[in-house]
Structure 1
Amino acid sequence: MNYDVIITGSGPAGSTAANLLSRKGFQVLLLEKTIFPRKKICAGGLTPKTIKLLNEIDIISYKELFSDTVNIKKIIGVKVFLENLSYTGTFEGDFGATVNRKYFDELLAKKAVKSGAKLIEAAEVFEPILENGCVCGVKYKKVENSLVFVKEARAKIVIIAEGASSPVTRILSGFNKHHLVRAVNTICEPPRPGEKEHFEFYFDKTLLPGYFWYFPFVSGKEYGFAGFGLEKNVNLKKEYFQMHEKYLNGVKVLTKPHTWIIPCDYPKKIAGDGWLLIGDAAGLANPVTGEGIYYAIKSGEFAALTAEKALHKGNYSLNTLKEFKILIDDRFKKEYNLSKVIKKLLPLGFHKAFFSAAARKKGILEKFMTGDMDFNKISIRKILKYLFFITFIALFFHGCGTAPAIKEEKKAYYPPYQSYLYYSQGALLSRNWLFDEAIEKYKKALTLDPESEVINQTLASEYTRIGKPDEALKIYDKLSSLSGDLKTLLQSAAFYIENDKFDRAIEICSRIIQKEPISPDAYFYLGNIYYKQDKTDEAINMFNKVIELDPKADTTYFNLGLAYGKKGDFNSAEKNYKKAAEINSEYTSPVFALGLLYQVQGQPEKSIEVYKKLLSLSGYDARVYKNMGLAYGQMKKYKESIENLKKAIELDSSDLDSLQRVAVMLYQEKDFNGSLEIAKTLAASDPNNADAYQIMGSDYTELGKKDEAIIAYNKFVELDFKNPLGYIYLSYLYAKNNEQSKMIPLLEKGIKIIPDNIDLLLYLGGAYYEIKNYEKAEAAYREILKKKENDERTLYSLGVLLEHTAKYEEAVACFKKVIAINPRYADAYNYAGYIYADRNEKLEEAVSLISEALKLEPENGAYIDSLGWVYYRLGKFDEAQKEIERAVIILKKSGYEDPTVFEHLGDIYSVKKLSAKAKEMYEKSLKQMENTSVRRKLDELKKSESK
């Protein structure tokens, strides 16, 4: 079946997109690599804006969410602790919550299914299907009867929502270098249940810019999540217990600390021909707090809106889907940039001043800590900075194991001589992978002996192998209807199971049991059927019947482990994996699965012990070393991690993924020379690997080799010339080298190749503005507005330029258009009002405009200065003095002193005959920046004093 949309990953992002699109009547396939209920290591915090969003888009109502007191805990606010200080903020009118992620994720997926989406679990998506450069589907793996079957699903649009480390994410976006927040948490039991109702954050100086947290949580009795996130390379679990003893003394730890990694970089390449990236796959998480559920759900909503529009238009190219990136930028870009600045400043002692200032204004503290602030309305200098990420693989396993060997009938049937000759020739061709030629020989054999079950079975198997199940089905329908042979019936049942024809398979298995009630094979197949139908208890019953009949059935113990794992009973899963390996010491599948089980549960130490045992067995070395490397990475033992990944590469030189992981890990460890050498090896092995040159460019940049970095990034642009990031990175390097003459041609080249990319045009306009070529800057902005007339970023930038070139009326018109598009764009209100104030015209309207800005951001020092300046123009000098003095204090607390604000205050003091104070303000202004007008005012003031 062809779908309208395929979504890979059923976390909050994927399930939201699936739900919204299914409601619109679109055919949606949701592929999940694990099996629900799945374990998700997460603090489980839902901010008020997340809960509001779920209610607004009709996913989960307030009533439904808070009616579940077992899996949901209502949160009334936040508490922030700084050494010996503490601040508390209470949510106004709304509540936050903590949730059980195992319950929450399954609930979202079920709601998507209820809306009409089809969910397939244990489906490991590993590759996109490309036709003429456009993604039109995915390939995924399903383990059935111990065999790995590759299946395909096709759709008009594919949405990737299974994380930044997924193979499809890496193939499509190259987004496999992550700026990571490393996190650890446990479940705790406080001594006094119910006393905690806040999200608690502890900013310890040893953790900055990370923090320690405690989130209260309810599950039958009072529990809580505790943990912390940071970027430092430390033993997270050891550090956790130190923080726990320091801040949560008396709170009992119930579980071992579990660690995980949060990728939180600003989205780069997240859309292409036929595909979108959302949630963790796009790196969407707050860089300061690590909060990601809101970002996941919001990106799922944006993806659904974009896909819906594309499906209605019948156009699934990047030209249509690029609107998703525009939505993401408009909502999150400025928030991310400011958060990164704050995060950089926290370790420098900024945290005390910041939280002290935030706590003074009601609503600011809790909004900042939960991500509820409207960062898009905060004016900051644009930051052009690139960050790279280290990837983290979410390991999983699924499917059923190999069927027990089927006992042969005592009498083997051989066809007549001539048919046997063709049959033998076909077998020889098949062993040499010449399947089509083999089929022709089997057909000839069958014409001579049409009733031969051996030839029919073999021909059906060949059809299955080359992907012609319909031809195989004809043969199996005939065989299963007429044959009474046990082997033939079992092979037919296996085929029907593989092709999801479960009713027919159950019918055949029932016939086998009637004929031979003690046949373990029929029960084994029934167990597989029930497993695939999500009837886990029935599957376990069938597998246990096999064990009763054959206590040494190692494969059945393995499948019991899988079934218990699917049910969430990990202790029983572990027990059965161990039993399977005990019965058959050469059976490696359950041992490897046991290692994976420990790894996905956040127990890398145990998984490493298992993998070391596997190294003595053949056939697993490369995979084992790779997984050991990843496990050591989970433990933050990067030296051991790199050593094992290198061993995996030695055993499998084609494993370029591990090679790239080593390069990125070395970069993360600040071994830039080592990372550079690996990146060079990667480029030599795969000359078309753009990511290799991106890593090289970052290494050269860190090593201070700007010229080499420019060469590497030029190669990155050459190989991935449709990726706007390459042009932006190079422009940044040219700017650092004061080579503006190269920066602008580069951006213009990118625009020719990607003419519809608004971001490049916006950067080009900014570049022209910086070199004071205002005519070309204006032309670039107006070109964007031809493509998207209501782009508020461009309208605002154009307004700033027009004001700078003395086109005041046009500038105000731009700002008013921004306000019409987005009534909460505070900067636009302020800028328009300030123009009126500075020109001493329409002063009452100026007061109205600036007052609107202050309603949105009451503690914005620049806006307060604007209001004071209007009062000055109106002759209300006392009011003007009060406001601008307040502006100076607020700006100083934020670490910024504005020369214009000092000048304004000096003018007020001057008109009020406060000469000493006026002189002081003018001198402060000149200290910040030399200004002819201010210098003249100061000289005149000194001259008047000397008379």
Structure 2
Amino acid sequence: MNKFKIFSVALVASVTVSQAQDLNQAKKAIDAEQFEKAKSMLKSIIQAKPSNGRASFLLGNIYLNQSVTDSAKIYFQKGIAGSDNGKLNYIGLGQIDLDNNNVAAAQANFGLGTKGISKKDVEELVYVGKAYINAVKPDYKSAIAILNRAKINNSSDAQVQLALGDAYFGDNNQNDAYVAYRNAFQADNTLLRAKMQLGVLLKGAKSYDEAIKAFNEVIALNPNYGPVYRELAETYYKIARNKPSKSVESLKTAIGFYDKYMSLTDYSITSRMRHADFLILVGDYKALEIEANKMKKLDNVNPRILRYLGYAAYENGNVDLAKTSLENFISNPTNKIIAKDYITLGLVKIKKGTSADGLSVDPAAFKEGLAIIKKGVELLPIAAEDLNEVGKKLFTQKLFKEAAAIFELSSSNKESRNYLDDNVYYGLSLYYDNNRKDIKADPIALQKADAAFANVIAASPDYQEAYLYRARTNRLLENDVVMTKAYQDYIDKTTQKGAEELAKPAVKTKFIEAYNNIAVIYSKTDKVKAKEYLNKTLAIDPANQYALDALKTLK
């Protein structure tokens, strides 16, 4: 009997140690973003011991991270009854409450999850802090407050410092985030995420070379740590955006690093969707189409696949598939619609209404498409910056009215990276649309053009062409005062650039235009000044017929 009891105790102890080891391995898999592997391990632990509340909590958190809230809730509710750290699951339910904007219920659940902890306990507080950080609407201030409580309990705990770093980072406090991440790695030099986050801070500060160096230091410690390759991919993507001369090379490198990340994590539907999101960022729509079709084979009912199919189909020229996919996705009230969904569908409508030669657009189709695009811009104003190339293409095709309608959506957003460019093209589109033969100029449109050129001048005072087109626009508006000043400003700004600029034939032609138009205005009030400007024209072109004739009338 005693032997049996000893054997039973030994067996229980062995199983307990084994499960603890499995839990640690699952945690490592979660940190390495190998979520499917972690889920499999945790399910095995729960199957062997349904009362393992910690395993239920970790599994529920993975599902919450993957936005599968129903499954997360099931595991949290089951885990509450668990004998092993079951109360952690209240914290998981608290995050769901936060996601549902029920702060009072969240705080009640957090209270249950931390009830009875000692002054030395930090784990529960760390998970509450993470819940505030990972909520749909993060509350970094609350996270910092709860994590500082944990820090008082144990300032040398690596997980406390790592979570504090994440909270400070989310709260845009880079200095304290750096200190916390550094402390976390010093406390546990196997915690690669903390060291990686030091590189993330550098990436956020646009110190890309230093960030790459930091990420390579992580790889030197463990070349199989997947998340660092995702960070490298995102760093090279940012280099491509900020350094156009390195764009092609950097995007290729970024895609290579993301492929490496995928190979070290998993190819689940969730990971493939993250990959698809990255392919959209880098603009690789051929690869997106391949990925979307692979996802369709894995999970034909996941609605987000329609989004990816729609984006890829539009960019790859299949407007009918794009239209069907995006309309089906947007029409489902349970789907979370983002600005790009509306914008892409709107562009699909416009593209479908564009003639084969690209020189005309059906007005009804353009109107419908523009209305849908506006929905996207209203949802996220900064999304309009992605319309720059669309507007430029319409401008190149001499579809000036349509180009102006597109540029109008982004030209007022000073936060846009294309603010200057969009205002230039907005003004030009309106000007050329109202400067055509047999077209009666629209004064309201021209006033908008004038405002656009004024925005350009304010943002870039040395861009002389803005002064020229502002003058031309006000000539159509018959606003003599603004026109004269703008022409003179053009002359002055161009002259400041020196003899080489003034020697250009195109510049000489523009100077003649400016001198002659200023002369016309002065001829009404100051004939001496008018003659002065006409003589300036003749100094450039002695045979200029307009100047010669005008001088005769002024004598």
TM-score range (shorter-chain normalised) is: 0.3 to 0.5
Q: State TM-score, norm by structure 1.
A: 0.30
Higher helix share: 2
- Between the two structures, name the one with larger relative contact order (CA 8 Å, sep ≥ 6): 1
Which is richer in strand? 1
TM-score (norm 2): 0.46
